[in-house]
Structure 1
Amino acid sequence: MRQPTRRQDYKITLLFLLLLTLPLSAQDLDYRAPLNGPLLVTGTFGELRSDHFHAGLDFRASTNTPVYNVAEGYVSRIVVSPGGYGQAVYVDHPDGHRSVYAHLETLRPELLDTVRARQFAEEKFRQDLRFDSTAFPLQQGEQIGGVGNRGHSFGSHLHFEMRDAKTDAALNPLDFGFSIPDTRAPQIRNLRVYELDNHGLETHIQTFKIAESRGKYRAPDTIVVGSPRIGLALKAYDRQNAMPNWNGIYGGELYADTTRIFDFRFGRIPFEETEYLNALTDYEEWNKNTSWYHRFWALTQDAMFLETAMDKTYDGSLRLLPNRPLPVRMLVNDQAGNVSGITFALVYRPQERAPQPRPHQYFLPAGERSIIDNGAMRLELDADALYRDLFFRYAQLPDASAGHLSHTHQLHDPLTPLHGHGKLSIRPDQHIADSLRDHVFLGKCQPDGQWSGNGGNWTDDGRFRANVYSFGDYALFLDTIPPQVAINYFATDLRRGAGFSLLITDNVQGALQYRGTINGEWVLLEYDIKNDKLTYNFKDGDPGPGQHRFAIEVTDRQGNSTVWERSFRR
Structure 2
Amino acid sequence: MTHYSILKLNKLALLFLLTANTAIAQYGYDSAYLMFPIRPGERNYLAGTMGEIRGTHFHAGIDIRTSGIEGLPVYAPADGYISRVKISTGGYGNALYMTHPNGLTTVYGHLKSFSKPLAEWVRAQQYAKESFDVELFPARNQFSYKKGEVFAASGNTGGSSGPHLHFEIRDQEQKILDPMRFHFKELIDEAPPLIRKVAFTTMDIKSRINGQFGRFEFDVTKEGDSFVMHTPLTFEGTIGVEIYAYDRFDGTWSKNGIPCIEVMLDDKKMFSQSITKLSFDEMRNVAVHMNYGEYLTSGQKFTKLWVDDGNWLKVYEAKDWQGMLKIRDSSDHKLEIRTWDSYNNYSYFKTTLSDKGKRSNATIKSLSKLRREGYEITGNVMELMNPNGVARQNVLLYSSGQAYELPPVYHVGANDLYLWDLRNGLPDSVDLCGTMQKYDFKAMVSPHHEYNYFDKDIDVAFNRYSLFDTLYLAVKDKQIENGREVFAIDNVLDPLRRSAKVTLKPLQLYDKEKSAVYSYSSKGNLGYVGGAWDKDGISFLTTSLGTWTVATDSVPPTIKPAVINKSECRLIIEDDLSGIKSWKGTIDGEWVLLNYEYKKKLLWTEKLDGSKPFDGEFVVVVTDNAGNQTVYKTKL
Does TM, scored on the shorter chain, surpass 0.5?
Answer: yes
Partner of 2:491: 413
Q: Which deviations, in whole Å up to 9, do the C-alpha atoms of 1:491-548 show, x marking residues without a partner?
A: x6x47x7542312324124x521112234332221111233322235687576387x5
Structure 2 CA distance for partners of 1:199 and 1:165, relative to 1, 3 Å: farther
Tell whether 2:221 aligns with 1:151. Answer: no
Partner of 2:22: none
Query: Letter of the aligned partner of 2:293 in structure 1?
Result: E
* Structure 1 residue 437 displacement after superposition: 3.3
Query: Letter of the aligned partner of 1:58 in structure 2?
Result: D
Q: Which deviations, in whole Å up to 9, do the C-alpha atoms of 1:183-218 show, x marking residues without a partner?
A: 221111111112222599994222211111455322
Tell whether 2:530 aligns with 1:451. Answer: no
Unaligned ranges ≥5, structure 2: 1-26, 362-408, 411-416, 421-426, 428-438
1:482 to 538, 556, 559: 556
Query: Letter of the aligned partner of 1:373 in structure 2?
Result: F
Partner of 1:108: 115
Partner of 1:388: 469
Query: Letter of the aligned partner of 1:243 in structure 2?
Result: T
CA RMSD after TM alignment: 2.8
Contact 1:524–1:540 (Cα < 8 Å) also in 2? no
3-state SS of paired residue (1:286): helix
Q: How does 1:85-164 map to 2 (within 5 A)?
A: 85-164=92-171
Tell whether 2:427 aligns with 1:427. Answer: no
Tell me the percent identity.
25
3-state SS of paired residue (2:322): coil
Tell whether 2:87 aligns with 1:77. Answer: no
Q: How does 1:219-298 map to 2 (within 5 A)?
A: 219-220=229-230, 222-225=232-235, 227-298=236-307
Distance 1:498 1:457 in 2: 39
TM-score, structure 2 normalization: 0.77
Tell whether 2:182 aligns with 1:176. Answer: yes
Partner of 1:31: 34
Partner of 1:520: 589
Query: Letter of the aligned partner of 1:472 in structure 2?
Result: G
Tell whether 2:120 aligns with 1:42. Answer: no
Partner of 2:460: 379
* Structure 1 residue 469 displacement after superposition: 1.6
Structure 2 CA distance for partners of 1:199 and 1:158, relative to 1, 3 Å: farther
Q: How does 1:13-32 map to 2 (within 5 A)?
A: 25-27=28-30, 30-32=33-35
Contact 1:200–1:388 (Cα < 8 Å) also in 2? no
Distance 2:495 2:84 in 1: 33
Q: Which deviations, in whole Å up to 9, do the C-alpha atoms of 1:281-340 show, x marking residues without a partner?
A: 12122212221111112322433322x4444x8522222336554321111110111111
Query: Letter of the aligned partner of 2:599 in structure 1?
Result: K
Tell whether 2:578 aligns with 1:508. Answer: yes
Segments ≥4 residues shifted beyond 4 Å: 198-203, 537-543
3-state SS of paired residue (2:258): coil
Stretch moving more, 532-541 or 499-508: 532-541
3-state SS of paired residue (1:522): strand
Contact 1:44–1:248 (Cα < 8 Å) also in 2? yes
Tell whether 2:543 aligns with 1:469. Answer: yes
Stretch moving more, 146-155 or 251-260: 251-260
Contact 1:504–1:534 (Cα < 8 Å) also in 2? no
Structure 2 CA distance for partners of 1:373 and 1:538, relative to 1, 3 Å: same
Partner of 1:441: 516
Partner of 2:228: 218
Q: How does 1:522-537 map to 2 (within 5 A)?
A: 522-537=591-606
Answer 1 or 2: higher relative contact order, Cα 8 Å, separation at least 6: 1
Unaligned ranges ≥5, structure 1: 1-23
Contact 2:190–2:343 (Cα < 8 Å) also in 1? yes
Distance 2:628 2:574 in 1: 13
Q: Which deviations, in whole Å up to 9, do the C-alpha atoms of 1:398-424 show, x marking residues without a partner?
A: 43866x5xx422112322212221111
3-state SS of paired residue (1:274): helix
Q: Which deviations, in whole Å up to 9, do the C-alpha atoms of 1:146-178 show, x marking residues without a partner?
A: 110011111111000011232x22111122342
Query: Letter of the aligned partner of 1:207 in structure 2?
Result: E
Contact 1:331–1:341 (Cα < 8 Å) also in 2? yes
Contact 2:239–2:326 (Cα < 8 Å) also in 1? yes
Structure 2 CA distance for partners of 1:471 and 1:199, relative to 1, 3 Å: farther
Structure 2 CA distance for partners of 1:203 and 1:408, relative to 1, 3 Å: farther
Query: Letter of the aligned partner of 1:34 in structure 2?
Result: P
Distance 2:507 2:318 in 1: 54
3-state SS of paired residue (2:227): strand
Distance 2:196 2:587 in 1: 57
* Structure 1 residue 91 displacement after superposition: 0.6
Q: How does 1:176-215 map to 2 (within 5 A)?
A: 176-179=182-185, 180-197=187-204, 203-213=213-223, 215=225
* Structure 1 residue 219 displacement after superposition: 2.5
Partner of 1:13: none
TM-score, structure 1 normalization: 0.85
Stretch moving more, 173-182 or 257-266: 173-182
Query: Letter of the aligned partner of 1:209 in structure 2?
Result: D
Structure 2 CA distance for partners of 1:165 and 1:247, relative to 1, 3 Å: same
3-state SS of paired residue (1:419): coil
Contact 1:58–1:159 (Cα < 8 Å) also in 2? yes
Query: Letter of the aligned partner of 1:316 in structure 2?
Result: G
Distance 2:143 2:206 in 1: 55
Aligned residue-pair number: 528
Query: Letter of the aligned partner of 2:476 in structure 1?
Result: A
Structure 2 CA distance for partners of 1:374 and 1:532, relative to 1, 3 Å: same
3-state SS of paired residue (1:52): coil
Query: Letter of the aligned partner of 1:264 in structure 2?
Result: Q
Distance 2:634 2:239 in 1: 66
3-state SS of paired residue (1:277): helix
Stretch moving more, 524-533 or 261-270: 524-533
Contact 1:299–1:388 (Cα < 8 Å) also in 2? no
* Structure 1 residue 86 displacement after superposition: 0.5
